[in-house]
């Protein structure tokens, strides 16, 4: 069975996709790594970003972390500033 999750995009990830939120359909036992794979497949321009961080429910997540359909997910690209 699949579930659709909403993903918030920030910074250059938002600029490259042209959207601040996208919906991704994943298997119920999908991981953060699976999510990134789907995003890269749908938006190949994101593969150019070296280190996208993924936050799940306000906490940075590792690629192995499993996702739930009600998780709040954010894609955070590297930031620079001074």
Of 10, 9, 22, 26, the C-alpha closest to 67 is 26
pLDDT of residue 1: 67
Q: What pLDDT does 80 receive?
A: 65
Fold of 2-76: Ubiquitin-like (UB roll) (3.10.20)
* Structural domain spans, the chain: 2-76
pLDDT above 60 (res 82): no
Instruction: Give the model's pLDDT for residue 6.
Output: 93
Residue 15 and residue 38 in contact, taking contact as beta carbons nearer than 8 Å:
no
* pLDDT in the model for residue 42: 95
pLDDT in tens, 50-77: 888 999 999 999 999 999 988 999 999 8
C-alpha closest to that of 55 among 38, 28, 32: 32
Average pLDDT, the chain: 91
Displacement of CA 4 from its chain's centroid (Å): 13
Predicted local confidence at residue 45, as pLDDT: 93
């Amino acid at each position: 069975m699949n579930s659709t999750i909403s993903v918030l995009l920030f910074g250059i990830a938002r600029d490259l996709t042209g959207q601040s939120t996208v919906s991704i359909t994943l298997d119920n036992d999908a991981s953060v790594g699976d999510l990134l794979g789907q995003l890269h497949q749908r938006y190949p321009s994101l593969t150019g970003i070296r280190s996208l961080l993924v936050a799940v429910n306000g906490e940075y997540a590792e690629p192995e972390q499993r996702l739930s359909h009600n998780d709040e997910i954010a894609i955070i690209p590297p930031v620079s500033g001074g």
